[in-house]
Structure 1
């Protein structure tokens, strides 16, 4: 083999080593546990490979790890809080009407959730619509309308609702006589879009507990959107998180979506203190990852190859610039 071929083969090996020393697709580090003041626990995550694959790429943490957002088909929405005991997220929508707008209606867009995800828009939300076209939307006091047309009761937008008469966080009604308000719960995203085609704007109000513990009266109306989520608890995840088993973090392989327990030493399919994990580590086969050579190791291998090349070249008998078969490296 000529010197040119030898060097070409050498650089091919070098490239392979460097590629192997790059980070793998699975996470062997512990995942970030918060974004700003919002705790990020299973099933959610802001690092790929952490949490449940059901919610992969759904949450975004930006602005130096201070701003949490939920990604949906209709846009990105700031997350106000996450409850894991009563599984739901509270979102704010800067495009919706607010008290500061009064009767100055801005262009808005309808909020939507992908029906294929494990999120659902909560039934605890109420929607207020403003300045709807009375020829296309039934805007009437709901109790009276329901008495006259019980079969069409659900299609009416209640103009006498409590929320229209007591706009949350506004110190009472801030709407002038030129503005109409009605309350209606859309049955689907499509009906919300249709309402917005015939109304100037809308806003969403959810009901939260005020901490008084008075049952149905322990409710306060706030602007925003409540989104419920499913909590996919598995025995593997519980075992992984068990502190006596090593206190790992539940995650998944980013290629196969198979469960992984993320430990400080690497990834494993069971739990961090699994004796078999140590055996796998000794043979260089950590579950869910590619066996990698460290950067320092790569540098050492490269140095060794250079040393070997110099040694061979020093001893190699060369005739007319062509090496003999006796001193070929490959």
Structure 2
């Protein structure tokens, strides 16, 4: 049987100087990527969830504090990116500054006493996100040898200095699980609020599973103004600056607050171009256009620069073609220079 590989005595020669074109491409690509970032329009929604300042799902939109933290999937699902994974976003409240996310690995009513492998939800502490104190965590089938599981009022009366370290087995949420009060038949439940991600991770080493419940305000008179729902409430800050307020002011042009994708400095994104002030500042727009081009014209300007570079490359290629017949990575006895 013949070999799968054939041997050629003479490698095929091809007219070259490819390395020069590789150099041209490497020089142009950064400008093309910058043009894409600067020329992209800021989407105002993902699915049915509005995307407003300080967030953005397109690079250069919103505040740089939240850059790359919200992702809109190809299916139109908004997701929050954290060190522990990507989580679907159920809702964003800009008036009460919080995001509601769901964790598919957490326990839910359909699981009952069947506990799936889970992982602890975590946030990057260096960001402007924080876990809301309105969250409560329920842990199931915890080891009583490693976790203090007691009805909290009774335990706190006897050990007030260790009250925060106990997992309350008599909590309201354990006795009346939201949406499914009788989902657990033979498993134990206790309520505990971890003060840090490490506490949550440590608890999960001694418990079969957990879930997060937050208290949703429904606008009814107290004490019936809140109901418990499954999910994780993540609070965020809105960095308000004078420049952003001026940019968003409809009397000044109604622009969109964004930032330079390279230096992360503030930019007001307008239909006529990106400026550092506001959209109706004609002097700033004309000056900015002369320096870096407008949103719609950035690609054109960079494309023109690329065309000039390619034209120069073609001129250079024609000039050296007869003098240096070196192929792209292939040499033979006929074209070997040394």
1:104–1:22 CA distance, 2 compared to 1 (3 A): same
1:134–1:35 CA distance, 2 compared to 1 (3 A): same
CA distance in 1, matches of 2:58, 2:70: 9
Q: 2:171 matched to which residue of 1?
A: 161
1:11–1:114 CA distance, 2 compared to 1 (3 A): closer
What per-residue deviation string (whole Å, max 9, x for no partner) do you get for residues 188-230 of structure 1?
A: 111111111111110000000223x313421110000000001
For residues 78-117 of structure 1, what are the structure 2 equivalents within 5 Å? 78-117=88-127
Aligned counterpart in structure 2 of residue 221 of structure 1, from 200, 219, 228: 228
Contact 1:269 1:287 in 2 (8 A): no
For residues 10-159 of structure 1, what are the structure 2 equivalents within 5 Å? 22-24=32-34, 26-64=37-75, 66-159=76-169
Contact 1:280 1:286 in 2 (8 A): no
Q: Which runs of 5+ in 1 are unaligned?
A: 1-6, 310-320, 323-330
Q: 1:4 matched to which residue of 2?
A: none
For residues 303-322 of structure 1, what are the structure 2 equivalents within 5 Å? none
What per-residue deviation string (whole Å, max 9, x for no partner) do you get for residues 302-329 of structure 1?
A: 9999xx99xxxxxxxxxxx99xxxxxxx
Q: 1:316 matched to which residue of 2?
A: none
Would you say 1:194 and 2:205 are equivalent positions? no
Would you say 1:231 and 2:238 are equivalent positions? yes
What SS is found at the alignment partner of 1:24?
helix
CA distance in 1, matches of 2:190, 2:239: 37
Contact 2:216 2:229 in 1 (8 A): yes
CA distance in 1, matches of 2:208, 2:116: 8
CA distance in 1, matches of 2:205, 2:43: 42
Q: 1:280 matched to which residue of 2?
A: 287
Would you say 1:181 and 2:189 are equivalent positions? yes
Q: Matched residue pairs, number? A: 300
Contact 2:273 2:285 in 1 (8 A): no
1:21–1:141 CA distance, 2 compared to 1 (3 A): closer
Q: 1:263 matched to which residue of 2?
A: 270
CA distance in 1, matches of 2:157, 2:310: 88
* More displaced 10-residue stretch of structure 1: 74-83 or 148-157: 148-157
1:282–1:235 CA distance, 2 compared to 1 (3 A): closer
Contact 2:41 2:58 in 1 (8 A): no
1:302–1:24 CA distance, 2 compared to 1 (3 A): closer
How big is the alpha-carbon RMSD for the aligned residues of Structure 1 and Structure 2?
Answer: 3.3
What is the deviation of 1:297? 5.0
Would you say 1:248 and 2:251 are equivalent positions? no
1:14–1:203 CA distance, 2 compared to 1 (3 A): closer
CA distance in 2, matches of 1:267, 1:215: 48
Q: 1:312 matched to which residue of 2?
A: none
Tell me the TM-score normalised to structure 2 length.
0.79
Contact 1:137 1:198 in 2 (8 A): yes
